[in-house]
Chains A and B, each alone.
Chain A
Amino acid sequence: MSFSSLLLQQTINGLSLGAMYALLALGFTLIYGILELINFAHFNVFMMGSFLALWVLQGFGLTGQTVILTGLPLIGVLLAALLVTMLGTGVLGVAIERITLRPLRGITGPAAMITTIGVSYVLFNVILLLTSAQTLNFPNPLPQLQWQVHGATVTLPELLIWLVAPLLMAGLWAFVQKSRLGKAMRATAQDPEAARMMGVEVDKVIMTAFFLGSALAGAGGMIFGLYYNFTSFLIGFTAGLRAFTAAVLGGIGNVPGAMVGGFAIGLIEAYSGQFIATEWSDVVIFSILVVVLVFRPAGLFGRLTPSKS
């Protein structure tokens, strides 16, 4: 393998990782932008997403690694699974907000953040007990297609990640920028009091943010399963922490920043594994984060604003 094809291969690896981190980072950023709340439950909403997708695919009779569907039926099943998963995790996110966070709204201090940690552990332990802590096989219904590009290999799941993740992100971007509810979200993020006085239904805006963020995390969970062909109760933590870092790196609260941050973290992880050592990846990722924050405290794309409280 020549150096340039090795570099290309690691770039492919890094971009696939990055797309997943970016999807997750968007959820952190959406909710932070509106509530100034770091939602740690997001880690395990992502994990729940992969299990929901697993159960839906199993419901369609897809188990193991054999290809039993092709063409349109396969696309149909995958789209149905994606929809159910996104809807399911979206509703889960809304429920988390409605049941555990709304009663705490207006209370200053870390109570809400600690609550999200608690919710995260509840989800984690429910799946741990349901699965007896086993790692489960995730069906791999995709045909085993791959292409050689300049000595590097691109697989079908990678292509799908690159297609689906940016589509979802673009959809979110368009929604926030163009739609009426999106405008209300931006208004609430800027000044919730003023937005409320102008007739924005703040509760509805917050619910929308939780729904969208959690639905994207669910999509991320399903993509994770299809890409790695396994899932377990543990997958939320590492991916969640990296995605959160991506959101901070890009400037938390900033939607394009979260996308760029996600891809940046994915690439850093791949390159540092190649050129330094795998066990140093986390050190490199978090060192870069610290350095960026020292020179740009609001992240790459964030703007420092006066505190809202």
Chain B
Amino acid sequence: MITRRAAAQLFASTAAAAALGAGPAVAADTKIVVIGVDLPLTGADAQGATRILHGAQLAFDQANDANAVPGVKFKLDVFDNATATAGQYDPAQAATNARRMVADPRLVAAIGPQMSGDGKAQAPILSEGDLATITPASTNPDITNPKFAAEFMPAGKAIYFRTVTTDAYQGPEMTMFMAKKLGVKSVYILDDSGAYGVGLADAFEGQAKKIGMKVMGRDRLDPKNADYTTTLTKIKSLNPQARYYGGVDQAGVKLVKQSYQIIPKMIKGGGDGMVAPEILTAAGFPAAEGWYATIAAPHLVGDPKAQGVIRAYTAKFGIGPDDYALTAYDAGLIIIGAVKTLIAEKKPITKATMRDAIAASKTPTLQGMVSFDKYGDMTSHVVSVYQIREDKSKPLDDMIAQYHYLGPAPQV
């Protein structure tokens, strides 16, 4: 159901995005720089995607208000990549949006996508169009892996930049957290047969084998199936200390529920796919209590240095940001910085010059100094660990209240 709050949020964000362009009288010599934003803004992913959109929007609004780049006004062009047939993000729509962004000569850089499936669909198109995008949330390592450059970087240059790290770290660093902080010596691994879930579970499994954690089995769940009791009964009979799940909430909700019935005491963990409001609302408590989950970025929401931005965000949008909203803010800062550099160097602002400027950038952001390796990945790779613990004083779907930050995972 489209709740009134969600509708109001969507309306507010659209209106604000429109206002960005139409803002106060623009001087004749002011250059308008158009930035694309591509996110699944409707359907199942809408809540997180809207938070990300707001994070990016805040960065550009603040730059416009403070006249951070003299002579330049930023305008966002927002694309929704969710479709009604998919009910959620739709890679085919993401590809269509990428073509539209590449075709627009005024659009010089982009923020997004949220989902790795969309990223895989967009990367080749963006590469051919020489359009740089900065993703604040998608973590599948293949897109920036030189091994798959022919597929995702056909034109040769990095165009898929990230302000989060990849699952090549998110999985293994969770392995280390389980081994070192929770004392886990044996684990059973599940995935949800999606690109993200399989990749994350593979990365976790690889690290587990490397450090001698006993992998007691690996199974693949069909997210459309309702019943995982068979698999969970099998896990119960093997009795590992922990169970790791690579995947998103579609299978996750059912897994949380049925795990509570069959293996209530086992240590249960997942990746950022398990950081989703439906885990709290559809699976609910007590089933979700105690689950561990990770975010492929530093915990910015709790960082004292980010509080000013968080206050501005909350004041503007009426609801607080999550970590990926703040990594989206960081992505905005990097793009603003790149434009500033080009103007200082008296270069034209085009897709190609922006790509080069972003690739070479070293920008102070909320998560510290961000720079990229030659494939577009961040040179730092912090993974934050959370545990779901019910806070009855806060609403059930208040993710920031119900996911408790435990600390950064040990790095590998």
**Using a CB–CB distance below 8 Å, which chain A residues touch chain B?**
1, 6, 9-10, 13-14, 16-17, 64-65, 125, 128-137, 153, 155, 224, 228-230, 233-235, 237-239, 269-270, 273-274, 277-279, 281-282
Contact = CB atoms under 8 A, between A and B. Distances in A.
Across the A-B interface, the 9 shortest Cβ-Cβ residue pairs: A133-B87, A273-B230, A279-B220, A1-B237, A133-B44, A135-B282, A278-B219, A13-B229, A133-B43
Given A224-B226, A278-B219, 12 more contacts: A1-B236, A6-B233, A125-B85, A132-B6, A133-B88, A233-B87, A238-B224, A238-B226, A274-B230, A278-B228, A279-B193, A281-B222
Given A132-B2, A228-B257, A229-B257, A277 B219 contact: yes
A230 B253 contact: yes
B254 interface: yes
A270 B225 CA distance: 13
A282 B227 CA distance: 13
B294 to A, nearest CB: 22
Given A64-B284, A133-B43, A135-B249, A228 B227 contact: yes
Contacts of B219: 277-279
B127 interface: no
B285 interface: yes
A134 B287 CA distance: 18
A239 B234 contact: no
Nearest to B231: A278
A237 to B, nearest CB: 6
B73 to A, nearest CB: 34
Contacts of B233: 6, 9-10, 13, 274
14 contacts: A64-B284, A132-B2, A132-B42, A135-B250, A137-B284, A229-B257, A230-B253, A234-B250, A235-B226, A237-B224, A274-B230, A278-B231, A279-B193, A279-B220
A134 B279 CA distance: 11
B46 A132 contact: yes
B282 A10 contact: no
Interface string B220-260: 11101111111101101101000000000110011001100
B224 to A, nearest CB: 5
A134 B278 contact: yes
B286 interface: yes
Contacts, number: 104
B79 to A, nearest CB: 19
B225 A277 contact: no
Contacts of A6: 233, 237
Contacts of B27: none
Nearest to B45: A133
Nearest to B6: A132
Contacts of B230: 10, 13-14, 269-270, 273-274, 278, 281
Given A132-B2, A233-B87, A234-B224, A137 B231 contact: no
B239 to A, nearest CB: 8
Contacts of B87: 128, 133, 233
Nearest to A157: B261
Contacts of A1: 236-237, 239
A206 B287 CA distance: 44
A258 to B, nearest CB: 19
Contacts of B237: 1, 6, 9
B62 to A, nearest CB: 31
Given A10-B233, A13-B233, A228-B227, A279 B222 contact: yes
A131 B46 CA distance: 12
Contacts of B226: 224, 228, 235, 238-239
Contact of A230 (B46, B239, B283, B285): B283
Nearest to A130: B1
Contacts of A235: 226
B403 to A, nearest CB: 18
A180 to B, nearest CB: 38
B44 A132 contact: yes
B315 interface: no
Contacts of B282: 134-137, 230
A270 B227 CA distance: 10
Nearest to B43: A133
A264 to B, nearest CB: 15
A64 B239 CA distance: 30
Interface in B188-232: 193, 219-222, 224-231
Most buried by B among A135, A153, A235: A135
Contacts of B22: none
Nearest to A5: B237
A273 B287 CA distance: 23
A273 B230 CA distance: 6
Contacts of B229: 13, 16, 270
A131 B283 contact: no
A201 to B, nearest CB: 39
Contacts of B84: 125, 128-129
B332 to A, nearest CB: 27
A273 B234 contact: yes
Contacts of A64: 284
B281 interface: yes
Contacts of A125: 84-85
B397 to A, nearest CB: 11
Nearest to A146: B261
A150 B161 CA distance: 56
Nearest to A274: B234
Contacts of A9: 233, 237
A239 B222 CA distance: 12
A238 B224 CA distance: 6
A135 B250 CA distance: 8
Given A229-B257, A278-B230, A132 B250 contact: no
A13 B226 CA distance: 13
A150 to B, nearest CB: 14
Interface string B340-360: 000000000000000000000
A153 to B, nearest CB: 8
Contacts of A129: 84
Contacts of B44: 132-134
A9 B222 CA distance: 21
